[in-house]
Structure 1
Amino acid sequence: MKKTILVLIIAVVALLTAVGAGVGYFVYDFTHTRPSEVAQDVVYEVEPGKAFNTIAKDLENKGLVRNATLFSLWARFKGERSKVKVGEYLLRTNMLPEDILQTLMSGKSIARSFTVSEGLSIYEIADLYEKEKFGTAADFLALVRDPKLIQSLLGEPEESLEGYLFPETYMLTKYTDTKTLITNMVKRFLYVYNEIIPQSEIKGMSRREIVTLASIIEKETGAPEERPLISSIFHNRLNKKMKLQTDPTIIYGKAEKLGKIVINITRADLLTPTRYNTYVIDGLPPTPIANPGREALLAAIKPASTNYLFFVSKNDGTHIFSEDYKAHQKAVQSFQLNAKAREGHSWKELKKKETQPVAPKK
């Protein structure tokens, strides 16, 4: 009897050992075999609340794992089912199960670029944000006008964050919210502003005034090398108590009423009083009219030393600068009232340089 029991025990142990070896080999084969030798990209999103078994089945259906049940059991054995994070991930069909699982646990979602060019206003950035499907323009505009957010980011009250959204390329994921983007843009502005402000050659201007002037310089500049010259004109006019008479401020005044930027300017617009119309008001407008880049900010605090008071477009993105009205009128006659000088010309001809159209100065 004892001999029979001993034989049965040995048989059971042998069977379990064989089964264990088989299971071990099966698991090893699953975890060390790629679903495909072809590296095909697959974008997969782990949405909030999605169960791991559902994720595993999705991965099997997309050819990313060979067996959903085994993948789920294997992840349970490793204690990593609960570590998968919400996100949008780039996976490949030739990834091993371990690579798939590690990617889903990383939380590193696919990032897409969002490029904000120098001189765009909050209206234009909001439209671009919605066009590229990162969020809605309405939400963007609401947040850049949120008094609490403005105070928390700038440390002082402002009407909006116009002027403080630094133009740059930002990397956003599907789960980057609007507030996070705006916060990062303002932080980038503050970093650049604090970096260059020690170079200032002007006195008596507040941060808001510097940014406002920089925003006008940005909008009036087609050729980057002209920024210090254009800055000198506005500084000279401010010092002489002359009106700035800059067309982009008129456009912004219209935008405040319309809720969008409309480029065309009529004679009636020049005469219509708004708090931004620098043909009517004295000094700088109350807020920035766009979001300037580093070079425009630098130009605002380091203007060229000139006696210029006027400038007029040469229809190619550059300008003629004048010290007196007589010389300015001559330049207007030559480049703006002369049909031949305007024919076939466009500020867009200024290749590889910033492209903001410049209206003639009056």
Structure 2
Amino acid sequence: MRHLAANALTILIVLGIALAGVIAWGVNQYRAEGPLTEPTEISIPRGTSLPRAAEILAEAGAISDPRIFRLGARYSEMQSRIQAGEFEIPAGSSMESVLICLVNQSTCRRVVYQITVVEGSTSWQVVEQLKAMETLTGEIDEIPPEGSLAPETYQANRGDTRAEMIQRMRDAQDAILAEAWENRVEGLPISSPDEALILASIIEKETAVAEERRRVASVFINRLNRGMRLQTDPTVIYGITEGKGVLGRGLTRSELNKRTDWNTYQIDGLPPTPIANPGKAAIEAAVNPLETRDLYFVADGTGGHAFAETLVQHTRNVQRWRRIEAERKQSQ
């Protein structure tokens, strides 16, 4: 019996030494320099399990043994913290370094994509932009309300959904509008944030000159206060296209005379909806216009506008602009 017990103890000791050797070998493999000879981009889709993530990394040549990688993740209790996204794994990264990269993205470069929503884009145009981004997933069930998307540059990861991007844009616009409305000046002839957004969209489409926005806003505010129609071409264009594409030509007299819900030559006050997605500056201009007596403006040939308080002044400005247009046509 003593002999058998001694043999059993010897076997256990040998097995223990062998196990320790295997563990030491595994740890060494886990921490050793990896097989990548150059930086490599790896995409981990949303909802990927640890075993599948290990397979993706092995298939890309980023790790040498998916089993050791999985064991390392579980032992370090990081398996549930792996992030989805697209990562650039540095050359020679160990399995430990790769795991840390997927968990704490500050340790390696994360590949991100950008989409820029330009001020004055319509919601239909933004949806078309998102549809064209192959890195995004999912469908957009309906075009968001006009004016509800904040123009700015957004970052997206491969696999992000288009619906998520739309919601981010809507949340951003809601925050901008709420802050602007909270800080509005007193005595405005608009009674709600929705009306401020409509006015801001018209301001956005009328001028691309930052310094002019508040003065353009003052013209429309003055007209609303006097009960004058806004008579702004961009609203006529929106009534024709409804935001789906670009008109690409000048307006005809018949179009100016045709009544639509948005044609401010034919309707009183503001149109029923915004005509584009205004940026923060346009929204702020709508609720904090300059104090002027201006009632008119027309292009001045420099990219900006000539403003006028009276119809006589405005008529002279219009004549000057028409001469500039005629001279440009002759020189072409």
- With the shorter chain as reference, the TM-score category is 0.7 to 0.9
Q: Report the identity percentage.
A: 30
* SS of structure 2 residue aligned to 1:90: strand
* SS of structure 1 residue aligned to 2:282: helix
Q: For residue 132 of structure 2, what is the aligned residue in structure 1? A: 131
Q: For residue 18 of structure 2, what is the aligned residue in structure 1? A: 19
The one-letter amino acid of 1:282's match is: D
Q: For residue 95 of structure 2, what is the aligned residue in structure 1? A: 97
Counterpart CA distance in 2 for 1:234 and 1:277 is 15
* SS of structure 2 residue aligned to 1:44: strand
Q: For residue 271 of structure 2, what is the aligned residue in structure 1? A: 285
Per the TM alignment, residue 80 of structure 1 is displaced from its structure 2 partner at its CA by 5.7
CA offsets per residue over residues 174-202 of structure 1, 9 Å max, x none? 34333332332222223222323223233
The one-letter amino acid of 1:29's match is: N
Instruction: Please show how residues 212-291 of structure 1 align to structure 2 within 5 Å.
Output: 212-256=198-242, 259-267=244-252, 268-291=254-277
Per the TM alignment, residue 253 of structure 1 is displaced from its structure 2 partner at its CA by 0.9
Sort the Cα spacing of 1:103 and 1:339 in 2 relative to 1 into closer, same or farther, 3 A. closer
Sort the Cα spacing of 1:283 and 1:342 in 2 relative to 1 into closer, same or farther, 3 A. farther
Counterpart CA distance in 1 for 2:54 and 2:189 is 64
**TM-score in terms of structure 1 length:** 0.77
CA offsets per residue over residues 43-76 of structure 1, 9 Å max, x none? 222465x665444333223121112333344445
CA contact (8 A) 2:296 2:311 kept: yes
CA contact (8 A) 2:306 2:317 kept: yes
Counterpart CA distance in 2 for 1:130 and 1:234 is 35
Sort the Cα spacing of 1:315 and 1:36 in 2 relative to 1 into closer, same or farther, 3 A. farther
Q: 2:150 aligns with which of 163, 166, 174?
A: 166
Sort the Cα spacing of 1:6 and 1:31 in 2 relative to 1 into closer, same or farther, 3 A. same
* SS of structure 2 residue aligned to 1:199: coil
The root-mean-square deviation of aligned C-alpha atoms, in Å, is 3.1
Per the TM alignment, residue 323 of structure 1 is displaced from its structure 2 partner at its CA by 1.8
- Unmatched segments (≥5 aa) in structure 2: none
**Stretch deviating more after TM superposition (191-200 or 127-136):** 127-136
Per the TM alignment, residue 324 of structure 1 is displaced from its structure 2 partner at its CA by 1.9
Counterpart CA distance in 2 for 1:80 and 1:135 is 27
**TM-score in terms of structure 2 length:** 0.84
Counterpart CA distance in 1 for 2:74 and 2:260 is 66
CA contact (8 A) 1:46 1:85 kept: no
Q: For residue 85 of structure 2, what is the aligned residue in structure 1? A: 88
CA contact (8 A) 2:301 2:324 kept: no
Instruction: Please show how residues 29-108 of structure 1 align to structure 2 within 5 Å.
Output: 29-36=28-35, 38-46=37-45, 48=47, 52-75=50-73, 83=80, 87-92=84-89, 93-104=91-102
Sort the Cα spacing of 1:136 and 1:173 in 2 relative to 1 into closer, same or farther, 3 A. closer
* SS of structure 2 residue aligned to 1:244: coil
CA offsets per residue over residues 79-102 of structure 1, 9 Å max, x none? 665x26572330414332123234
Per the TM alignment, residue 226 of structure 1 is displaced from its structure 2 partner at its CA by 0.7
**Stretch deviating more after TM superposition (211-220 or 130-139):** 130-139
Sort the Cα spacing of 1:336 and 1:115 in 2 relative to 1 into closer, same or farther, 3 A. same
